[in-house]
Amino acid sequence: MKKGGKALILSLSIAAGALLAPVIASAQIEITVAPPVPRVEIVPAPRPGYVWAPGYWDWRGGAHVWVGGHWIGERRGYHWVPDRWEQRGDHYHYWKGHWER
């Protein structure tokens, strides 16, 4: 295959990935099992250039699993919205943590 054809395929693959990323990132979980009460975490001292992402209950293999908090590199002009569960009737919806302006 010529260099131009490979570059075109690579460009299209990158563009398709960029278009699908928001769809994948917004995918959510809906279950009927309430998450346990969040665990108490001791938040370490602040680190310059980082933001603390608190722990949360994830849904894996049909059960809630605790994911401990961790540091993530800050994004200037944005704030971190933590992972969370939201009750709607008898269902619970999971919203993945993300950056917002």
- The reply to whether the predicted model has a pTM over 0.85 is no
pLDDT at 19: 45
Tell me what pLDDT residue 28 has: 78
Residue 40 amino acid letter: V
Residues 24-37 pLDDT 10s: 445 579 999 999 99
Identify which of 89, 25, 36 has the alpha carbon closest to the alpha carbon of residue 59.
Answer: 36
- Per the CB < 8 A criterion, the answer to whether 84 and 63 are in contact is no
Confidence of residue 89 (pLDDT cuts 50, 70, 90): very high
- Under 8 Å between Cβ of 27 and 98: no
- Residue 58 CA to residue 75 CA, distance in Å, equals 24
pLDDT tens, residue by residue, 16-69: 454 444 444 455 799 999 999 999 999 999 999 999 999 999 999 999 999 999
Residue 10 has pLDDT above 80, yes or no: no
